[in-house]
Amino acid sequence: MRIRLEHVTHAYAGSDESAAVQVLGDISLDIASGDFAVLMGASGSGKSTLLNLIGAVDKPTAGRIFLDDNETSVLDDSRLTMLRRRSIGYIFQFFNLIPTLNVFENVAFPLSLANTPRSDVKSRVAEALASVGLGNRATHFPNELSGGEMQRAAIARAVVHNPPLILADEPTGNLDSRNGEMILDLIRSIHKSRRATIVMATHSERAAAYGDYVIGVSDGRVGGVGSGGWEKEPARDHYSAPSPESVAENASTPTPHPPLPTPRKQ
Ligand SMILES: Nc1ncnc2c1ncn2[C@@H]1O[C@H](COP(=O)(O)OP(=O)(O)O)[C@@H](O)[C@H]1O
Ligand SMILES: [Mg+2]
* Nearest ligand (C-alpha, residue 41): 1
- Structural domain includes residue 223: yes
- Structural domain includes residue 3: no
Helix, strand or coil, per DSSP, at residue 179: helix
The parent domain of residue 41 ranges over: 24-197+204-250
**DSSP H/E element including 191:** helix 177-194
Residue 18: CB within 6 Å of ligand 1?
no
Are 160 and 151 in contact by the 8 Å Cβ rule? The answer is: no
Tell me the mean pLDDT in the region 98-127: 94
Query: Residue 228 belongs to a domain with what CATH number?
Result: 3.40.50.300
- Structural domain includes residue 1: no
- Structural domain includes residue 56: yes
**DSSP H/E element including 254:** none
User: Taking 80 as the threshold, does the pLDDT of residue 125 lie above it?
Assistant: yes
Please list the residues that pair with 166 across neighbouring strands. Answer: 89, 198
- Structural domain includes residue 128: yes
User: Please, what is the Cα angle at 2 between 28 and 72, to 5 degrees?
Assistant: 70
Question: Helices (H) and strands (E) in the chain — how many of each?
Answer: 8, 11
- Structural domain includes residue 16: no
State the pLDDT confidence band at 263, using cuts at 50, 70 and 90. low
152: left (phi over 0), alpha (psi -120 to 50) or beta: alpha
* Nearest ligand (C-alpha, residue 52): 1
Structure confidence at residue 106 (pLDDT): 98
Helix, strand or coil, per DSSP, at residue 266: coil
Rounded to the nearest 10 degrees, how much is the dihedral formed by the CA atoms of 137, 140, 146, 152? Answer: 50
Residue 163: CB within 6 Å of ligand 1?
no
Nearest CA to ligand 1 atom 24: 44
- Total of domains in the chain: 1
Residue 183 to residue 133: CA distance in whole angstroms: 11
Residue 137 to residue 143: CA distance in whole angstroms: 12
- Structural domain includes residue 209: yes
What's the mean pLDDT when you consider all of the chain? 88
User: Taking 60 as the threshold, does the pLDDT of residue 245 lie above it?
Assistant: no
Residue 21: CB within 6 Å of ligand 1?
yes
Structure confidence at residue 251 (pLDDT): 47
Spell 129-151 as b/e; 16+ CB within 10 A means b: bebbebeebbeebbeebebbbbb
Structure confidence at residue 210 (pLDDT): 96
User: Taking 60 as the threshold, does the pLDDT of residue 137 lie above it?
Assistant: yes
Residue 101 to residue 116: CA distance in whole angstroms: 18
Neighbouring C-beta atoms of residue 28, cutoff 10 Å: 17
Neighbouring C-beta atoms of residue 205, cutoff 10 Å: 13
Are 167 and 197 in contact by the 8 Å Cβ rule? The answer is: no
